[in-house]
Structure 1
Amino acid sequence: MANATTQTSKREAFGSRNVFILSAIGSAVGLGNIWRFPYVAYEGGGGAFLIPYLCALLTAGIPLLFFDYAIGHRFRGSAPLAFRRMSRAAEPLGWWQVLICVVIATYYAVIIAWAAMYTWFSAQITWGKGNEQDYFFSDFLQMGDVSTGLSTEFVPQVGVPLIGVWLVVIIIMALGVKRGIGAANMILMPLLTLMFATLVVQSLFLPGAMDGLTAFFTPNWEALADPGVWASAYGHIFFSLSVAFGIMVTYSSYLKRKTDLTGSGMVVAFANSSFEILAGIGVFAALGFMAAAQGVEVSGVASSGIGLAFIAFPTIVSNAAGGPIIGVLFFGALVFAGVTSLVSVLEVVVAALQDKLGWGRVRTTLVVSIPVALISVAFFSTTTALAVLDTTDAFVNAFGIMAVALVAVVFVAWILHKLPVLRDHLNKRSSFRLGWIWMLLVGALAPVVLGYLLYNEIVAKAEAPYGDYPDWFLAIFGWGMVIALVVLAVLLTLLPWSSRSHAKRDPDYDEFLVEENYEPDAETGSIALPGETAKGARS
């Protein structure tokens, strides 16, 4: 038994609760907070949108965040291992989440690379005044037509910084949870907050800024009668908090046994929402200036996503006093927010394979990150990259994250009946205690909302080809990818687990095993995973 104990290494952990909170906030605060939330709020009724937004946060976002925390912390593993320890039949859910993260990582990195280049471009206003849209699509991306087939033509100004992004991220990942992820977030998150706060202050002094803020905050109470506005609020919250695709399960597994889980979750959730409000103020103050400069209403310049970041903001940079500073702050903030989120996405994959195969940190990081980086460069540094990114993002978000979230909550709540166990685990360690209301929100409200959102997405994408892309293209990067993720998740479940996952001997894991009434084999010291049988172990 002593030999079995020494063959395993203690599970990595965050240095402190504060480091975990910063890392969790870093995962939640990403590109969507900056370029998506302001427009979603504006379209959803301006100031009135805060009502469905807060309802979604309190009734779905935070409860599901606690759900993920409880699974990761109680079962002490990556997403597949945590679900497997809950029930052998649940393991494919973990691998489904892992594969979603693989796909997201491939295209998320390229947006960071774009932002890195535009940080540099902002200093010299490289795109030229009045040429912002043409520069982005024609000169920078060199965008081609996907209807003629996928391009292999390499775009250097995209591919080279993309390689640089991957090198930085791989180094952070290889250093581990404490020295890599934790340390990076301790540096990048304060810098991100400082940069964006400076950007907001600068934007507030632009001519027309108050018009933008008026447009952003003026409530349109009639919008609250639109079910689509409420669905939009819930949909945004699911993605904004990084719930349901393995990140928070993995991060919480690195927490010490007596960590206050619900208190930490409340801090993460409200910090994320505070940053979104800050982003809305900064973005719409800048859009107010842009509208005034062009002599149009704010509605005429308001946009989201790529259009906001790489067309609207360069236009603002070109025309505003101190424009280069605004550009460096905005695109620099995108880089920092993107890196912290990309690291969390990759950690889901690295942790899963580390648990499954029993490899060391550096080896697993290289085996995971190098192939993902090569795929990323191959598909997203060519002239047809934007079409691949647009389609992949639309389908993986709708039929990946929302679908696995729906299946997970239904399976855990209604088939495994584990919500009372998870609630009790949270209550043993937390300042904010949960009861039947939490179980009702996770087990009843969340499936209804997720099912409604998923149904709407299926109807919308079935009625007409998404983005008017060719059928063969959607079959590969849309529907085909959605199906492939599920099939591969089942196949990965068939691979045998490393003995290191059977015989973790640190005190935290032993506590879990005692609670679950497992005991080690008298001869080998190994311990079966739930649903399996080991010599001398109860199954």
Structure 2
Amino acid sequence: MVPLKLNRAGDRGQWASKREYILVVAGSVVGLGNVWRFPYLCYKNGGGAFLVPYGLLAVVCGITLFLLESSVGQYTQEGFITCWRKMCPLAQGIGYGNFIMKLYEFNYIIIQVWALLYLVFSFRSQLPWASCENTWNTANCMVLGMSGGIEDLGSVRWELALCLLASWMFCYFSIWKGVRSSGKVAYFTATFPYVMLLILLIRGLTLPGAWDGIYYYLYPNLNRLANLEVWIEAGSQIFFSFSLTTGSLNVLGSYNEYNNNCYKDCFWLCLLNSGTSFVAGFVVFSVLGFMAQKQDVTVDNVAESGPGLAFIAYPQATAMMPLPQFWTVCFFLMLILLTVDTHFVIVESSITTVSDLFPKWFRAPVRHEIFVLIICVSSFLIHLTLVTEGGIYIFQLIDFYGSTRVCQNFIAICECLAVGWIFGADQFSNIIEDMTGQRPSVFFKVCWKYIIPLLSLISFILYLVDYKHLKINDWYTYPDWAYVLGWTMTLSSVLMVPLWAAGQMCLTAGTFRQVSVHLLQPKQYASFF
């Protein structure tokens, strides 16, 4: 069967080279999830045994969805809303759901802000977190000076506000020219973290107590494989670290040439991501082993995940080393660079999608640059709430509810239904073969049509059954209104899919059968406005 050809909109631009595409995608998918989430999940869920569910789900869900989303973008050469309009108009709600999730992900910049502040403090002769005798840090020695809760936001911290301003300025100048500028920035931001990672790895492995930490990281506990939660967390990590169901891969793939071999790309990029996660575990747990030995405690007493690892445990450990300033600078410089390209891809993919929705308004170079400036300035002003003393509570709330497992799994189910069943897995395989010269194996079709929807549905249901309210360090419980706000954020993206489909069915003229056929068929024209 000859693949369906779509007309493609011009004047969008393309990657200057294949190398820039690889670097930007690598920079986007290799982020903090590899450093502060994967090692802890591995330690917590059976050590080396965790690699079994992780590796299996990386193949079944990770690579297959990575190929699906990249190929959809490359085939349509559109953002994550208009790409679905072309392939399956009834599924446009997937794109609008992605867009809302992206707005919540803008808050990711606060990690960069915290890391930048810590980097500045790292050049002091006495590291601020080496002691808790200061007026501005907490009993947990956290430099961010947390308030008592989300009810008490306190004042804006000017040093964090300056870091926020610097971060948004860097983001603007990284993306203001579109892929022409972001592709160039990625030469540094996507490669230099690996230099820092290598330096920290060598240092970590030479520390006393390092191998005790690595033992905790990798010692296999096969009994944990019988726990369903271990498999759920492995799948969640795959979705998070591979940037699946967020729309970013669609947009980045849309700037490729039609004949780019996205089939081969997805294997190498997924392997790079998982390999980085595995190596990062040695960096983290070698230092935690050293810290445990220094404090004469076991590693499980110092092992943490998320912000607690990056901004409490690891800085305290580096403060105990010879030349602490150097190792702290290396660590926070790596964190900053890991967040920079992930964040500017989040913003760029959103801007690209809006530009593709309204090409006459935003594709002209001057208008595009002004639009990017408006987005960055308004986001900076909104994010000033995140640099208050209670800002970390807002961030944790958005992070927990804005892009939850519910959102990820629901969007995955919808994508697979749209491509595997409505558009057709066979026709989609024909398209990939036409673009790349390589036909995906039948395994991919089976995953798109059956395995991924089934696993995502199970994970979706289990999340709802086992749901527990967000707490901070097991001591702070949010007020009821915050949980209502959190679930509103979750539903705001999930409900876009059925509501948009229902709205289209109601507003399109014709009988139910005529409307259904019309909205389920791919569009064969390029411009909609």
Q: Distance in 2 between matches of 1:253 and 1:247?
A: 10
Q: Is 1:472 equivalent to 2:488 in the alignment?
A: no
**Against the structure 1 CA distance between its residues 201 and 431, is the aligned structure 2 distance closer, same or farther, given a 3 Å change threshold?**
farther
Give the corresponding residue for 1:169.
Answer: 171
How do 1:305-324 residues align onto structure 2 when only pairs under 5 Å count? 305-324=306-325
SS of 2:130's partner is coil
Pick aligned residue for 1:413 from 417, 420, 424: 420
Q: Is the 8 A contact 2:25 2:252 kept in 1?
A: yes
Amino acid at match of 1:474: Y
Give the corresponding residue for 1:272.
Answer: 273
How do 1:205-354 residues align onto structure 2 when only pairs under 5 Å count? 205-354=206-355
Unaligned runs of 5+ in 1: 1-7, 497-514, 520-526, 535-539
How big is the shift at 1:261?
0.7
Q: Distance in 1 between matches of 2:334 and 2:244?
A: 22
How big is the shift at 1:303?
0.9
**Against the structure 1 CA distance between its residues 93 and 225, is the aligned structure 2 distance closer, same or farther, given a 3 Å change threshold?**
same
Amino acid at match of 1:408: E
Give the corresponding residue for 2:111.
Answer: 111
Give the corresponding residue for 2:149.
Answer: 146
SS of 1:10's partner is coil
Q: Distance in 2 between matches of 1:183 and 1:490?
A: 39
Identity %: 25
Q: Is 1:43 equivalent to 2:58 in the alignment?
A: no
Give the corresponding residue for 1:71.
Answer: 72
CA deviations over 1:249-308 (Å, ceiling 9, x no partner): 000000011111111111110111111111111001101100110111111111110110
Q: Distance in 2 between matches of 1:481 and 1:150?
A: 21
Give the corresponding residue for 1:388.
Answer: 394
Q: Is the 8 A contact 1:23 1:185 kept in 2?
A: yes
**Against the structure 1 CA distance between its residues 341 and 157, is the aligned structure 2 distance closer, same or farther, given a 3 Å change threshold?**
same
Q: Is the 8 A contact 1:100 1:401 kept in 2?
A: no
After alignment, is 96-105 or 149-158 more displaced?
Answer: 149-158
CA deviations over 1:372-413 (Å, ceiling 9, x no partner): 222122x20112211111111111221333332232223433
**Against the structure 1 CA distance between its residues 152 and 211, is the aligned structure 2 distance closer, same or farther, given a 3 Å change threshold?**
closer
**Against the structure 1 CA distance between its residues 49 and 518, is the aligned structure 2 distance closer, same or farther, given a 3 Å change threshold?**
closer
CA deviations over 1:337-393 (Å, ceiling 9, x no partner): 10010011112210111111221331331233322222122x201122111111111
How do 1:342-381 residues align onto structure 2 when only pairs under 5 Å count? 342-358=343-359, 359-360=362-363, 361-377=368-384, 379-381=385-387
CA deviations over 1:464-511 (Å, ceiling 9, x no partner): 5655211111212x0122233356788999999xxxxxxxxxxxxxxx
Amino acid at match of 1:412: V
CA deviations over 1:227-257 (Å, ceiling 9, x no partner): 2111111110111111111000000000011
Q: Is the 8 A contact 1:260 1:429 kept in 2?
A: yes
Q: Is the 8 A contact 2:112 2:339 kept in 1?
A: yes
After alignment, is 449-458 or 67-76 more displaced?
Answer: 449-458
After alignment, is 464-473 or 168-177 more displaced?
Answer: 464-473
Q: Is 1:482 equivalent to 2:490 in the alignment?
A: yes
Q: Is the 8 A contact 1:354 1:364 kept in 2?
A: no
Q: Is the 8 A contact 2:90 2:501 kept in 1?
A: no
Amino acid at match of 1:230: W
Give the corresponding residue for 2:3.
Answer: none
Q: Distance in 2 between matches of 1:119 and 1:329?
A: 9
**Against the structure 1 CA distance between its residues 116 and 482, is the aligned structure 2 distance closer, same or farther, given a 3 Å change threshold?**
same
Q: Distance in 2 between matches of 1:370 and 1:429?
A: 39
CA deviations over 1:301-352 (Å, ceiling 9, x no partner): 1111011001101111211123222211111111001001001111221011
Q: Is the 8 A contact 1:97 1:401 kept in 2?
A: no
Superposition TM-score, scaled by structure 1 size: 0.85
Amino acid at match of 1:311: I
Q: Is 1:158 equivalent to 2:149 in the alignment?
A: no
Q: Is the 8 A contact 2:397 2:470 kept in 1?
A: no
Give the corresponding residue for 2:99.
Answer: 98
After alignment, is 387-396 or 76-85 more displaced?
Answer: 387-396
SS of 2:123's partner is helix
Superposition TM-score, scaled by structure 2 size: 0.87
Pick aligned residue for 1:460 from 455, 463, 466: 466
After alignment, is 119-128 or 319-328 more displaced?
Answer: 119-128
**Against the structure 1 CA distance between its residues 193 and 465, is the aligned structure 2 distance closer, same or farther, given a 3 Å change threshold?**
closer
**Against the structure 1 CA distance between its residues 230 and 132, is the aligned structure 2 distance closer, same or farther, given a 3 Å change threshold?**
farther
Q: Is the 8 A contact 2:193 2:338 kept in 1?
A: yes
Q: Is 1:12 equivalent to 2:46 in the alignment?
A: no
SS of 1:183's partner is helix
How big is the shift at 1:128?
4.2
Give the corresponding residue for 1:509.
Answer: none
SS of 1:345's partner is helix
How big is the shift at 1:200?
0.8
Give the corresponding residue for 1:511.
Answer: none
SS of 1:482's partner is helix
Q: Is the 8 A contact 1:140 1:157 kept in 2?
A: no
How big is the shift at 1:447?
1.6
Q: Distance in 2 between matches of 1:465 and 1:220?
A: 28
How big is the shift at 1:517?
8.8
Amino acid at match of 1:438: F
Q: Distance in 2 between matches of 1:146 and 1:52?
A: 37
Give the corresponding residue for 2:5.
Answer: none
Unaligned runs of 5+ in 2: 1-8, 505-520
Q: Distance in 2 between matches of 1:387 and 1:429?
A: 46
Give the corresponding residue for 1:122.
Answer: 122
**Against the structure 1 CA distance between its residues 486 and 197, is the aligned structure 2 distance closer, same or farther, given a 3 Å change threshold?**
same
Give the corresponding residue for 2:516.
Answer: none
